Every structure is written in C-alpha cells, then in structure tokens.
Chain A
C-alpha cells in the first residue's frame, strides 16, 4: 500500500506497463513537459522522447496515427488533453478504431488507451468542462472507463493498457491531486463495480467524481439514520448490472447521479435496466446536469453541478415516498 494522488496512480500504472512491455508508448501534446496536468511528469526522462512522444496540435492525427501504430504492432496510450478536444478526432475513434476489428472480419485489433480528461474544473467554461461518457457507451467496439479514486486509476489504467480493445479512459480533472491509498496488487476489472459503502436503505449509483460526492452524501445520510449503499460503476461499458440489481433488490430504492447532462445520460440506462427487472419501493431518481451549458462565472457554473446535498435530498425523497 502506498499513498499517492489520482494523477500519480495512473502515472505509476503507465510506467510499470512501459517497463514490462517495450511496445507500450504514449503520444499527445506536451507530454515531454509532463502533460497539461503533469500526469506524465518524469516519464520522458525514463523512457525517452520516442516512447513519451510529443505531438503537433492535431487531434485527428494523434488518434489516427496511434491507431495505425496499433495495427502495426504497438500498444499506444493516446492523450487527448481535454475530453472536449477529442471531438476533433471523432471520426478516427468512432468510425475507424471502434469498427476496424469488426469491419475487417477480425483481422485487426486496436489495443489502445485513449485518455480524455473530463469534467468541470475551475472556471473552464463550455469547451473545457464537459462529461461526454454516455456518447462513447453508445458506440459498439469501445470500452468506457471513468475511475474516481487513486486505487481505481492505478488498477484500471493497468487493465486498460493490457486490454486488446480500445478503451476510452475518462479521468476527472478536478481530482488529479486527490490522495488515496493504492494497493498495486489489486487487479482492475472492467464491468466490476466498486461498492464504496455498504448499506441497506437506498442504492446510490454513480461513477467518476460524482461517485466521490455520493460517498459524502452517504456519510451525511448516515447522520440522519439512513443507510445508503454507494456503487461506483468504475467502467460504464461494460457495466456491473449484477451489482446494481443485487443492491436495489436489497434496498428497493435507487438514485443515479452523474455530472453529465441528465437527458439521455447513462443514468437513464441504469434506471431503465433496473425498472425493467423489478418493482421499486419508490420511483427511481436521476440526477445530472440541466440540459444547459457550462459557464465561466462560478455562480453560473454551479447551477450545472450535481452536489452532495442534492444527492442526499434525492435519497431522502425515496425514503419518504414509502412513508407517504
């Protein structure tokens, strides 16, 4: 066990994978200077500029070239800098990388990790703040992962690099400096949720940084005598339906919370899946951003946030429904 930040946990995973496999390499803008969030600091000194490769500001080429290099036998880690900028490489990801193996009848693989730092982070406004994870879940061929803790950012990064499928790896920008214990012996598994807090009254399902807010909400609910179970999905495709269904079977109440826009967010998939399977004690709740845009001014930006208080209030509402 070692204590480290969310950023350093992923960096450790990358470094270990690069030591073990000479075909693993990283490519993106400014990586030689440690990357825009310093999540690559020190790696170029150990691995050199070929394997920790700078890139022109050419998102389509970064994504496309990494894919070509993957087909030629390497295992690229692609840095998109901001999830928002990755949209410049949408054709490369959605039409090429996600589909190549299938279209070519299994002749090719795209063993790639595509890192897309996501989410609200200081006053970064509408083009540097988005949470677009549900877009990628909608694309067959992609694995989608949204780690929320240093432990998961270590273990899932290791799993993503080892995976032969393309993995869209969405790290949350607001928690780079968050510290936590990391047990490097624990393997990461896609489709395996992390039960962040066990409980019996209400199930809170989330991922990425909102899962951390759910843990805080559960703590405050405990003070009111409500015992919430917090399920951090960690990966959204595949996602751990069994863990969610087992929990809701026990609690009969469900709140799904995420930072992304509520409308057509992945929370809808979770709620629909549960609702198709069982009758709940109270109507399920979805929490997400209004379908508005993320502003620069803090008071405007905050109106798009799902907060700990909102999660706790939603959980209480499901409790009150039964007694009403």
Chain B
C-alpha cells in the first residue's frame, strides 16, 4: 500500500491511540498481577485496539459513545484522561467515577462517554435512547454503541436495533466480534450470523476487518458521515480477536492451542499499522518513540494512581439519590 504524507500523519495518530490503549491495559494488567493494585476484574481489549481507534476517529467531542465491560480502549479513544481512568481501576480518589465504578463502569461524561456496562448487551437499548434524546432535542450529534459478539444473543440486541430503526435514530451499532463469549466460542452458541440479523432488522450493514485500522477508519468515516446526514441507524460488524483471556486472570485454556500466539504473530493490529508506516517511509525509531511515549504516559498514570488516597468513606452514600438519600438514614 502506498501512503501519502497526509495518510502518514493519520497513521501516526492512529498508532499513538492504539499504543496508548495497549500500554494502558498492559500497565493495568501488571498493576493487577504484580502489585494487586487492581482489585476487581478487568477485561482487556488487547488485540482489539483498531476498532475503538478507527470508529471513534471521525466522531466529534459532543458525539456520544457507550461501551462494554471491555471498555478501556473506547474510553481512551474518546478522549478520557488516562490518569483518572487508572485511578478508577485502583479505586482511588480522583478516579473518573470517584472509585465507585471501577473498570466495568468506567465513564467520562465530559467527553460524552456514557459508560461501560457490566451487563452484556444492556448498553444497546440505552444507546438507542441517547440517540432518541438527541432527536427529541433537535441535536446533530450521533451515537456509537460498542458491544461484543456475545451481546447479539441477548434480547436488547433485537429490541434496541428495532427501536433505532423504527424511530430513525442517528446511531452506529458496532459489533466488535472477538470470537469469544466469555469462555465460549460464540459461533457455537449463535444461530445464523450477527450481520444477517442486523440486515433483517432493516439496518444498512457493513462487514469489515477489525484489525486493519487504516481501512476500518475509512469505512467508519463514511458510515458516520452518512448517519449524520440521514439521521438513520447503521450497523458495523468488525471482526477482530481477543488476545487476552476474558478477564486478565483467565488463562483461556478453552482456546485451541497456539491460536492466540498465531493471531498475535500474524494479525496484531498495531504490528500491521507499523508495517504500513514503515513501508511509507517512517523510521522504525519514530514508531518506537510512539510506543515509548505511550508506555511512559501510562506508567506515570499508574504512579499517580498508586499515590492517590482512597475515596472519603462518606462518599459511599453520595450520589445514590436525592430523595430518600441513604445519608439521611440511620443504620
């Protein structure tokens, strides 16, 4: 592939985003395994960075995204602060959710990231509703809803896609197909295929390689521009691969031996983009610098999180509800 100078810049920007996601999650994994600083489960999107990077690239800051339990990449790509995210993973004061949500409920409403979700598929109807709200208020933003292949077997998939179609809502549903529903091969538990389901519900549907950030970014730019213009929903099925287990502590022994190693060697989205950039004349050293900068940023984020105090004890009763707040109750 020949890349123009313009493409090279975009490629470097994409590489930076993907390296930041990768570094964030590698640092988080280390913080969990080596130091037991991350106490709850975290779900890594290592190997899937191209989907978040490419699909979010054409979005405006005031466009909305909703994510899944595997949501660090989407959140970072939308522009959330890595340090606040790392503090959240460690449950510390200054975490983007005040230490109340952790990884699975990570959110940054400042960049219109309306939350990861601990329940598979639950964000689909909520995302359709955010688009419904935009339409009612006369806004010109769009919504992107990320979910995994496992979510396509939940009821909200049908209800949410139908809702978006019935009400003509400006939303892109992105099925980030990493092949596995927790520890089960999704194809073993799925009748037919996901993209056909979306087509059957009347949504224009695109199937794409989710590990090729360059082509996926072009596809996503086209689709999101169309949604902004028509105000109607579309569906993107992006095939990718989860290089880690379901959680960071899942050894993923249910996978065929060697599968992950082979995918890492041949289908890593970061390696692929690095190859394209080298071919376009970018020096390996420059690419290494991008990686190093990402790693330094995330190491610093962990240092800051490690040093941050626990949240104030009384904060556990804040932000439950105004009327009938637990702060007014005796226990």
> A: which residues have CB within 8 A of B?
23, 25, 50-51, 53, 55-56, 58, 60-61, 63-74, 91-92, 95-96, 100-108, 140-143, 163-165, 190-191, 237-238
- Excluding A23-B137, A164-B322, 6 further A-B contacts by CB distance (< 8 Å) are A64-B129, A67-B125, A68-B127, A72-B131, A72-B134, A165-B321
* In the complex with contacts A65-B129, A92-B122, A60-B155 CB distance below 8 A: yes
Interface pair B130/A104, CB less than 8 Å apart: no
- A-B contacts at CB below 8 angstroms, number: 159
Is A68 within 8 A of B132, CB to CB? yes
The answer to whether the Cβ of B204 comes within 8 Å of any Cβ in the partner chain is no
Contact with A along B164-202 (1 / 0, CB 8 A): 001100000000000000000000000000000000000
CB contact under 8 A between A64 and B156, given known A92-B122, A103-B105:
yes
- Contacting residue for B119 out of A95, A104, A141, CB 8 A: A95
With contact pairs A68-B128, A103-B105 given, residues A95 and B122 touching in the complex (Cβ less than 8 Å)? yes
Residues on the A chain within 8 Å of B321, using CB: 101, 140-143, 165
Q: Are A74 and B133 also in contact (CB < 8 A) when A60-B159, A103-B100 are?
A: yes
Q: Are A190 and B323 in contact (CB under 8 A)?
A: yes
Question: Which of B10-18, B21-29, B107-115, B226-234 touches A?
Answer: B107-115
User: Which of chain B's residues 52-79 have a Cβ closer than 8 Å to chain A?
Assistant: 64, 66
Among the 9-residue stretches B91-99, B211-219, B244-252, B258-266, the one with 4 or more Cβ atoms under 8 Å from chain A is: B91-99
CB-CB under 8 A for A165 and B322, given A58-B159, A68-B132, A104-B97: yes
Residues of B within 8 A of A (CB): 64, 66, 95-101, 105, 107-109, 114-115, 117-119, 122, 124-134, 136-137, 139, 155-156, 159-160, 162-163, 166-167, 318-324, 326, 328
| A106 adjacent to B98 (CB under 8 Å) | yes
CB–CB B324/A104 < 8 A? no
CB distance from B61 to the nearest CB of A (A): 15
A65 touching B132, Cβ below 8 Å: yes
Residues from chain B with a CB closer than 8 A to the CB of A53 are 167
Which residues does chain A contribute within 8 Å of B167, judged by CB atoms? 53
Instruction: Give the residue of B122, B126, B319 whose beta carbon is less than 8 angstroms from that of A102.
Output: B319
Q: Which chain A positions have C-beta within 8 A of B109? A: 104, 107-108
Within 8 Å by CB of B324, from A65, A73, A238, lies: A238
* Closest beta carbon of chain B to A248's beta carbon, Å: 18
Q: With a CB–CB cut-off of 8 A, which chain B residues contact A140?
A: 320-321, 326
Residues in B with CB closer than 8 Å to A95 are 118-119, 122
8 intermolecular pairs with C-beta atoms under 8 Å apart: A56-B163, A64-B159, A68-B128, A70-B129, A72-B137, A73-B137, A103-B115, A104-B109
Could you tell me the distance between the alpha carbons of A164 and B325 in the complex, rounded to whole angstroms? 12
A191 and B321 CA atoms in complex are apart in Å by 14
Once A69-B136, A74-B136, A108-B107 are accepted as A-B contacts, the answer to whether A101 and B122 lie under 8 Å apart by CB is no
Q: Could you tell me the distance in whole angstroms from the C-beta of B138 to the nearest C-beta in chain A?
A: 10
Cβ B323 vs Cβ A238 within 8 A: yes
B232 to chain A, nearest CB (A): 16
Q: Compute how far the CA of A140 lies from the CA of B321 in the bound complex, rounded to whole angstroms.
A: 8
Q: Which of B108, B122, B131, B320 contacts A96 (CB 8 A)?
A: B122
> B37: shortest Cβ distance to chain A, in Å?
19
Do A72 and B119 touch across chains, with their CB atoms under 8 A apart? no
Compute how far the CA of A240 lies from the CA of B124 in the bound complex, rounded to whole angstroms: 38
Cα distance A103–B107 in the bound complex, in angstroms: 9
B319 touches A68 (CB 8 A): no
